[in-house]
Amino acid sequence: MPRPEPIRKDLRAGWLRLGRYLKWNLPKKVQYSNDLLSHALDRHKHPVVCWSGGKDSTVVLSLARRLAPDIPVIYIDGGVEFPEAGRFVKRLAKMWKLNLIVAKPRKDETFWKVGLKFGWPIFGKNIASNVERAVRTGNIRPQLSPLEAFLAQNRVHISARCCEFLQERPSKKVEESLEADLKIVGLRANESRARVRLWVDHGDYFYVKRYFGRNRGIWKANPISIWAEGDVWKYHRKYGIPHCQLYDMGYPRNGCWPCAMGIRNGQLRRLQENHPSLYRYLVTKTEMGRELLKLRDLSQTRLLPGFDFIVE
């Protein structure tokens, strides 16, 4: 939905401000990040770092460990991580002697069970969420895009709820058990418009009300919010920070292997080329695969390009 006019004005100004920060050189950005982390860590007794094993969160982990070597590090094992990601996490945890805590979803909330109940992660969070709501309520609103309306009319079973069950809930459970009052994450503002809006409205260090329910919130810190992707890789090279093998294979991130949120950006094609056995299992042996094949059969429309490579 459109944001109110005053906020849209702030967003435009925020884009300009972010553009100025993005032009800073790496040493200045590193100093900015260190100052932010130092300020945040001084104010909290129970900080945690949320680490996915990805390039961004590994930089944040490196920065945080310099200031707080024993800080608890939460890694979420949702049961559908790439094998390369799992090996990398174990290797780096041993190399850096991390105070690692592995969070896992409930046994009855696996990727496959959540997807079967709510829908499969296809087409990105906004599209999947809008279509899931339209299918569930039977209300195909005028605000839906032509693609979203088309998917809803054909009752395509997609949703973004898996992130809630596989990532957010397990992490929050561990954070609560640690009495965490500061959550350090590796989000970059220029990754998406949604993250730019988050940065414009809240900055890179802010309080989230009712995070653990009505009576308790948590502070969040995004120390590399003003970094660009190039800065992340420069930092990796300059300080010899290891990275997961998935990036060398062409994957832009190291999320769940069955995820098709980036399907229009070649996500399934990369899986087909680099992990053919996982791809074959997904397409031919799962309910999500049946939904993908349904999309392939609907691909005669120009709204659904890119499904021709999905094979039986």
- Give which of 175, 186, 190, 182 is closest to 223, Cα–Cα: 186
pLDDT tens per residue, range 270-307: 999 999 999 999 999 999 999 998 888 887 666 665 55
Sign of CA dihedral 67, 71, 75, 76: negative
Measured on CA atoms in the order 152, 295, 77, 250, is the torsion positive or negative?
negative
Work out the mean pLDDT of the chain and round it to a whole number.
91
And the tokens for 208?
A: 């989230």
pLDDT reported for residue 9: 55
Question: What local confidence, expressed as pLDDT, does residue 215 receive?
Answer: 79
Total of domains in the chain: 1
In a domain, 30, yes or no: yes
Residue-level pLDDT at 6: 57
Predicted local confidence at residue 2, as pLDDT = 44
Q: Does the residue 159 lie in any domain?
A: no
What is residue 171's predicted lDDT score, i.e. its pLDDT? 96
Question: Domain for residue 278, yes or no?
Answer: no
Residue 130 phi/psi, 5-degree rounding, is -65, -40
In-domain check, residue 163: no
Residue-number span of the structural domain to which 103 is assigned: 5-116+175-252
pLDDT tens, position by position, for the chain (312 residues)? 345 555 555 677 778 888 899 999 999 999 999 999 999 999 999 999 999 999 999 999 999 999 999 999 999 999 999 999 999 999 999 999 999 999 999 999 999 999 999 999 999 889 999 999 999 998 888 889 988 998 999 999 999 999 999 999 999 999 999 999 999 999 999 888 788 888 888 889 999 998 998 778 999 999 999 999 999 999 999 999 999 999 999 999 888 999 999 888 889 999 999 999 999 999 999 999 999 988 888 876 666 655 555 654
- Contact status, residue 62 vs residue 241, Cβ threshold 8 Å: yes
In a domain, 283, yes or no: no
- Residue 132 located in a structural domain: no
Using CB atoms within 10 Å of the CB of residue 189, give its burial: 0 to 12 exposed, 13 to 18 middle, 19+ buried.
buried
Residue 49: give its domain's CATH number: 3.40.50.620
Q: With the CA atoms of 299, 163, 193 and 306 taken in that order, what torsion angle do they form, in degrees rounded to the nearest 10?
A: -20
* 269 in any annotated domain: no
Largest CA distance in the chain: 58
Residue 147 lies inside a defined structural domain of this protein: no
State CA 306 to chain mean position distance: 23
Query: What token pair was written down for 32?
Result: 């900015």
254, 82 contact by CB (below 8 A): yes
Distance from C-alpha of 154 to C-alpha of 238, rounded to nearest angstrom: 50
Which pTM does this prediction carry?
0.90
